[in-house]
Structure 1
Amino acid sequence: MLWHRGEETVKGFKLKQLKNILSPQDLKNLSEAELQNLTGELRHRILETVSKNGGHLASNLGIVETTLAIHRVFNNPDDQIVFDVGHQCYAHKLLTGRQQEFDTLRQWNGISGFTNRKESEKDAFGAGHSGTSISAALGLAMANQLDNKDNYVIAVVGDGSFTNGMIYEALNNCNKKNLRLIIILNDNEMSISENVGGLSNYLSKIRNSQNYFNLKHQTQSLLHRIPLVGEGLIEGTRKFKKHLKKRVVAENFFEHLGLDYLGPVDGCDLKKLESVLGEAKSKTSCCLVHVHTVKGKGYLDAEEHPEMYHSSGPFDQAKGIEKKESENNFSAAFGKIMVEAANTNASICAITAAMTGGTGLDKFSQTHPERFYDVGIAEEHAVTFAAGLSANGKTPVCAIYSTFVQRVYDQLIHDAAIQKLPLIMALDRCGLVPGDGITHQGIYDCSYLSSIPGMEIFSPETYDEMRQSFKQSFENKNLAVIRYPKGAQQQYDRSGFIHDGDLSYQDFSEAGKDSEQPEIVILTYGRITKNAYEAIQLLKANNPIRLIKLVKVYPLQLEKIRSLIGQPKLFYVLEEGIRSGGIGEKLAAAIAQDDHLKPGKIRIHAIENPLMEQGDLPALYDYCGFLPAQIADEIIGILGNK
């Protein structure tokens, strides 16, 4: 059942079953034909919604049958389901009472694109980052055991997450008896970027053992049919089965950890899935079920190009996502800068954590493959590996999304800063990030990274500033962060800015007023500079205003800032990051100790409540009070000019 470009979207099923599914209990008595129809409806609804709102399509299309099987075999929410990352939970949401809200997926005041405990009791554990599921599921299962509950906990983990070290820390602790924990390895042979390393090769080898698994089930089915002696024959074949398994399948890594292992099983065969999950329930210890699914199943373009549909914006179903020859955004600009720099500097290496395309390093991986390292979803390893490259004279650039850099704070201090090793961190998706919600905001990095000894932080607003930031960092050979937002540089008139090294400024005043003595000084950095600029236009320069834009935000450029501030009525810091520990607070503390700087009022406008849900950028700006009109109104209110 495939949806082809330009053809009718719905083929081979009727839109009649899904509307009657109000809870997982409604799935229990459906016929095989009804279930088959339901898989088509689920894929249709997921495709319709993601094509309009954006989201994670390929993995969700692939896991439909597996999700149905889980809900038919187990009793959610009494039996708890934990999805790793949470991005493959769309069918789960549709089957657990969220059909009416599903059209609001990833929208402001809508439902999350990930599991969310606040959203439903059927979401046992929230997620957004990789590798947390088995640890959380183990905790839930142990709590059940302590409370003498016989409920099951099911962790659903994609194969990409098996490149994350936390998965193995958890597996190492799962060898407990009478633990009702079942791990489903959703193996679709691809994570965000192409799976890398020995673990991917290992799973590929296990997949080839499916003949053994099929033979086992066929044999058991045959023996069960023999009257009187069938059960005895089954027991008698167990030793032979173990011998056969060793001959057909290489010794299994998971079994060495003390887990029961079942699989691989066809993740599109609902009947077989239910049979295997039923067998997993009978185990007396933690069991891992290896399920083989197809990313993008049911939508031809997603099957052929799953990497393009891992996480996408809205698209035309009939045409699919059209791959552009060149993108005009910060990620693409970074990729171009890296290729050009590596062409003339043989020491430059690029490292990413399963985000080759997302970070813009795909061209670098093609032009300099010997100096490109995709380490999988292993951010901690990526940074210490980069530090090792640096220790032996290389110039490593580690490209990671801001939200995932939260995982490498220890490595940056222990392995880079303490040893004074030059290392450049390219932080993508900084500031407010639309769509993915609370777990993916890039608003913390300036606060915690500025506490690391020797750290330099650049926040370019334009591609030219980005290029200069990298050039300076390559030359200085320091520990540096270059942070930039998702999307393209903002478009507005920058011609009035006066550039002074790592900052620039522009004065706005009425004719005849002395712009050397501004009454209002607004200091900001990064993408939100445009909002400050537009707010000044709304103020109509009733007071002389100076706008200062930092490119290098830390260490603080106190001498330059001191010379530009003077003694205004208001010193206003606008920051698209959290207030606590941010650049604004650091500046305010420095000013308080400086006898030469005595502005009348100091105000910091930063993010006070960082735990915000998903939405587009205008909605997030509105929530934070970052729209130009909101900024202008606040400044007027502070000065009492209403």
Structure 2
Amino acid sequence: MKRTGSILDTIASPADLKRLTVRELVRLGDELRRETVSAVSVTGGHLGASLGVVELTVALHAVFDTPRDTLIFDVGHQCYPHKILTGRRDRMRTLRQGGGLSGFTKRSESEYDPFGAAHASTSISAGLGFAVARDLLGDGGDVVCVIGDGALSAGMAYEAMNNAGHLGKRLIVILNDNEMSISPPVGALSKHLMQLYTERKFQDFRALARGAVALLPPPLQKGAARARGLVKDLVIGGSLFEDLGFSYVGPVDGHDTRQLLAVLRTVKDRADGPVLIHVLTEKGKGYGPAEKAADKYHGVSRFDIVSGRQHKAAPQAPSYTAVFADGLMREAERDPRIVAVTAAMASGTGLDKFQQRFPDRCFDVGIAEQHAVTFCAGLAAAGMRPFCAIYSTFLQRGYDQIVHDVALQKLPVRFAIDRAGLVGEDGATHAGAFDIGFLTNLPGFVVMAAADEAELVHMIATAAALDDTPSAFRYPRGEGTGALLPQRGVPLEPGRGRVVRQGGKIALLSLGGRLTECLKAADELDARGLPTTVADARFAKPLDRYLILQLARHHEVVVTIEEGAAGGFGAHVLHLLSAEGVLDRGLTIRTLCLPDRFIDHDTPAAMYAEAGLDAAAIVSAVHAALGMHRRREILPLGLASAIA
């Protein structure tokens, strides 16, 4: 029976794809691409990567029996078509909104998301775990991992492939090669993939048709450099992947549904060990504005479908990222020893601007945070002044190297920690919640947090001047506060904070980007007859002992505020006050920090309100503390101290 209506409207689950003809699956891909564009135009999100895997997603769900077969997407930037086909189409316009769908795969969201992802290079390790569990439990089913060429630059992916090749388990890895990670792919692997593309013809799976080959279609033959080898009938034995124990299949045209179906079905029927299918795709495929954009619409805000114009509010102040880039370039102009390092986030950290200005002094090492940290340690040991710019959430991946290779050797690596605190639509996976705690615990570290963009400029200068100790400065995502920027950063005295507003009864001691909310809270408290001092700690380590002790001695209530998890700045303040015996004298103190749970995606304002770190929550904390303070005044000292 010939269908004339929408095929996508008939899809309630992946099982519905099994009844479709190849022609109908091709048509479904076209409809799925249009639906993805339509949904993301309303919410914003990671559009380009999702458009690049439309045909691949259709083919995977048509061939494999999900969720019995396990399908794991690396990172998750490309999972929107998958969400549409797995019963979540009616919620796609809640994507990345409060209470809505996650922008990544998430176990609690659907049985079709067997493993959560938002950080790169985890899929093969997780997939091998599923494969081993399958064989031990005798459950059957295939395990398929989809990983991008950018994510394959991380060492963890090779650790997993090495282990998988050794174990010999049946595991299917799809290498989605679009030559386009967030930043341009770098390193020997990228060159190896280019060689596979330019120096060998399309190889069908050996068992499918030995000697039957077909050239890649013209749309994928981009440029003489990539097309020159297509005329060669060359079969490269012992490729990198085969040396790791994988059967290599490809390259395969990732936008040819018929070709994908043939290869996937053959692999499913005949593979008896680990297999890597090399699929060539184009990020942003099928949507003109994305295809033309330099970043292929990797991450977009809401946009007009016809024109592709994104609806972005006019910035009221420069972003912290831009201020960091400009500040670091000014320091580098004065000091030729300054170099910058990032891990596949040159544009995200602002170092793309630095790279244009100082191409020989900027290094993008790929998705390899561990290597980035130790690379910086080597640079520092050799007399350079490295700045390692990594998002807080990704810096976690290099923690052992921070401890062993940097802190233990007292090497002056400077960590520029972007996206500190809560980050909005990307949610818990990208929140910068833990760096204060895990860095302040390390001996000899100087840890700073910028309250505004002017402070960030001074902290860059401070880090540049520190030649005998490792240091870090953290700053939020998004626009600054509109503070007047200095012409030149002035190094701060380590461990010296500042009082920005003088009061008398209440003291709010802020670390980082909540200072504006503290000032708002102080206005409200002053209006209620509670004169409030507001101080900016600047340093989580070393602490400004004098400032903290003065606040404790001259105020009835002290409240610390930070954009980090428990065990960070507030904990160190409590430790200091306890050691100085201040707590024994009846001081009422509260430490406000992120709650002991992960906070789901929403607007930053809503997330901070939920976390209890906005002005209203600060005022409430003060009133609660005052109530306890009054109760304590009529109790014996010992009991009062216990209550406080």
Aligned residue for 2:497?
503
- Letter of the 2:300 partner, please give it: S
Residue number among 180, 198, 204 corresponding to 2:188 in the alignment: 198
Q: Report the alpha carbon displacement of residue 354 of structure 1 after superposing the two structures with TM.
A: 0.6
Q: Specify whether residues 117 and 215 from structure 1 end up closer, same or farther in structure 2 by C-alpha distance, changes over 3 A only.
A: closer
Q: Which residue of 2 aligns with 1:511?
A: none
Query: Over residues 212-259 of structure 1, what are the superposed CA-to-partner deviations in whole Å (9 max), with x where a residue is unaligned?
Result: 426979966989xxxxxxxxxxxxxxxxxxxx9994436411111121
Amino acid at match of 1:440: H
Give the distance between the partners of 2:364 and 2:212, measured in 1 at CA: 47
Question: Does the CA contact (< 8 Å) of 2:509 and 2:534 recur in 1?
Answer: yes
Amino acid at match of 1:26: D
Q: Which amino acid is the alignment partner of residue 270 of structure 1?
A: T
- Which residue, out of 133, 138, 151, partners 1:161? 151
2:432 partner amino acid: G
Alignment of 1:458-537 (within 5 A): 458-477=448-467, 478-491=469-482, 502-507=496-501, 515=503, 518-537=504-523
Structure 1 counterpart of 2:370, one-letter code: E
Matched, 1:182 2:182: no
SS at 1:37 equivalent: helix
Partners of 2:44 and 2:333 lie apart in 1 by 36
Q: What displacement does 1:304 show?
A: 2.2
Query: How far apart, CA to CA, are the structure 1 residues paired with 2:332 and 2:343?
Result: 20
| CA-CA distance at 1:492 after TM superposition | 8.3
Among 541, 562, 587, which residue is 2:549 paired with? Answer: 562
How many angstroms apart in 2 are the aligned matches of 1:504 and 1:178?
Answer: 61
What secondary structure is seen at the aligned counterpart in 2 of 1:264? strand
Matched residue, 1:605: 592
SS at match of 1:577: strand
Equivalents in 2 of 1:393, 1:458: separation in Å? 23
The letter of the residue matching 1:524 is S
Match of 1:313 among 285, 301, 305: 301
Q: Give the direction of change, closer, same or farther, for the CA distance of 1:293–1:90 in structure 2 (3 Å limit).
A: same
Q: Shift of the alpha carbon at 1:556? A: 1.1
1:210-609 aligned within 5 A:
211-213=201-203, 247-249=234-236, 251-281=238-268, 282-307=270-295, 309-320=297-308, 328-477=318-467, 478-491=469-482, 502-507=496-501, 515=503, 518-539=504-525, 540-579=527-566, 581-595=567-581, 598=585, 600-609=587-596
Q: Which residue of 2 aligns with 1:170?
A: 160
- Are the equivalent residues in 1 in contact too, given 2:509–2:535 (CA < 8 A)? yes
The residue type equivalent to 1:592 in the other structure is S
Mark the CA change 1:93 to 1:639 in structure 2 (over 3 Å): closer, same or farther: same
CA distance in 2, matches of 1:575, 1:219: 62
In 2: Cα distance, 1:177 partner to 1:479 partner: 41
Of 66-75 and 581-590, the range deviating more from structure 2: 581-590
Q: Secondary structure at the match of 1:396?
A: strand
CA distance change for structure 1 residues 317 and 275 in 2, over 3 Å: closer, same or farther?
same
| Displacement after TM superposition at 1:103 (Å) | 1.0
Deviation at 1:469, TM superposition (A): 0.9
1:620/1:366 CA distance change after superposition, 3 Å: same
- Residue 186 of structure 1: how far off its partner (Å): 0.4
Aligned counterparts of 1:150 and 1:277: Cα–Cα separation in 2: 18
How far did residue 143 of structure 1 move?
0.5
Looking at structure 2, the residues matched to 472 and 169 of structure 1 have their Cα atoms a distance apart, in angstroms, of 38
Distance 1:599 1:493 in 2: 40
The CA deviation string for residues 50-77 of structure 1, in whole angstroms up to 9 with x for no partner, is 2332211111000010011110110000
Percent identity of paired positions between Structure 1 and Structure 2: 40
- Residues 306 and 573 of structure 1: is their aligned pair in 2 closer, same or farther, counting only changes over 3 Å? same
1:96 is paired with a residue of what secondary structure? helix
Unaligned runs of 5+ in 1: 1-12, 224-243, 509-514
Return the alpha-carbon distance in structure 2 between the equivalents of residues 560 and 127 of structure 1: 43
AA aligned to 2:474 is R
Equivalent residues of 2:318, 2:482 under 8 A apart: no
- Contact map agreement 1:210 1:263 (CA 8 A) in 2: no
2:217 match: none
CA distance in 1, matches of 2:433, 2:4: 45
Structure 2 residue aligned with 1:231: none
Structure 1 residue 457, shift from structure 2 partner = 0.8
Q: Which moved more, 1:535-544 or 1:452-461?
A: 535-544
Cα 1:599–1:468 change in 2 (3 A) is farther
Contact 1:524 1:548 in 2 (8 A): yes
For residues 382-411 of structure 1, give each alpha carbon's deviation from its aligned partner in whole angstroms, at most 9, with x where no partner exists.
Answer: 010011111111000000000001111111
Deviations 1:581-601 (A, max 9, x none): 111111112112213564531
Are the aligned partners of 2:341 and 2:376 in contact in 1 as well (CA < 8 Å)? yes
Distance 2:40 2:20 in 1: 27
- Residue 484 of structure 1 aligns with an amino acid whose one-letter code is Y
Could you tell me whether the CA contact under 8 Å between 2:123 and 2:145 is conserved in 1?
Answer: yes
- Equivalent-residue separation in structure 1 for 2:317 and 2:157 (angstroms): 34
Which residue type is aligned with residue 311 of structure 1? Answer: G
Give deviations 1:461-497, integer Å, cap 9, x for gaps.
2222111111122112220001000011225899xxx
What is the count of residue pairs matched by the alignment?
597
Aligned residue runs from structure 1 range 60-79, under 5 A:
60-79=50-69
Q: Which of these residues, 85, 89, 98, is aligned with residue 79 of structure 2?
A: 89
**Partner amino acid, structure 2, of 1:415:** D
Return the match for 1:108 from 98, 103, 115: 98
- Residues 23 and 215 of structure 1, relative CA distance in 2, 3 Å threshold: closer
Root-mean-square deviation (CA), in Å? 2.7
Query: What whole-Å deviation, never above 9, does each CA across 1:315-367 have from its counterpart, x for those lacking one?
Result: 33344357999982011111111211111111000000011111001111111
Unaligned runs of 5+ in 2: 214-230, 486-490, 631-644
- TM-score between the two structures when normalised by the length of structure 2: 0.88
Shift of 1:294: 0.5
Q: Deviations over 1:188-222 (max 9, x none)?
A: 01111011111101001111255242697996698
CA distance in structure 2 between the aligned counterparts of 1:370 and 1:214, rounded to whole angstroms: 42
Q: Which stretch of the first structure deviates more once superposed, 452-461 or 536-545?
A: 536-545
SS of structure 1 residue aligned to 2:540: strand
In the TM superposition, residue 85 of structure 1 has moved relative to its aligned partner by 0.9
What's the offset of the Cα at 1:173?
Answer: 0.9
Q: What is the DSSP-based 3-state SS (H/G/I as helix, E as strand, rest coil) of the residue aligned with 2:71? A: strand
2:454/2:484 contact within 8 Å kept: no
Structure 2: distance between partners of 1:26 and 1:248: 38
Q: Label 1:210 to 1:295 Cα distance change in 2 as closer, same or farther (>3 A).
A: farther
Q: Is residue 619 from structure 1 mapped to residue 613 from structure 2 by the alignment? A: no
- Could you give the per-residue CA deviations for residues 254-309 of structure 1, whole angstroms, max 9, x where no partner exists? 11112111111000011110110112121111111110001000111211225262
Shift in alpha-carbon separation, 1:317–1:461, aligned structure 2, 3 A: farther
The separation in 1 between residues aligned to 2:309 and 2:382, in whole angstroms, is: 42
Contact 1:262 1:280 in 2 (8 A): no
Matched, 1:51 2:41: yes
How far, CA to CA, are the matches of 1:222 and 1:417 in structure 2? Answer: 57
Instruction: Measure, in 1, the Cα distance between the counterparts of 2:419 and 2:209.
Output: 53
Cα separation, partners in 2 of 1:564 and 1:639, compared to 1, 3 Å: closer
TM-score (norm 1): 0.88
SS at match of 1:314: coil
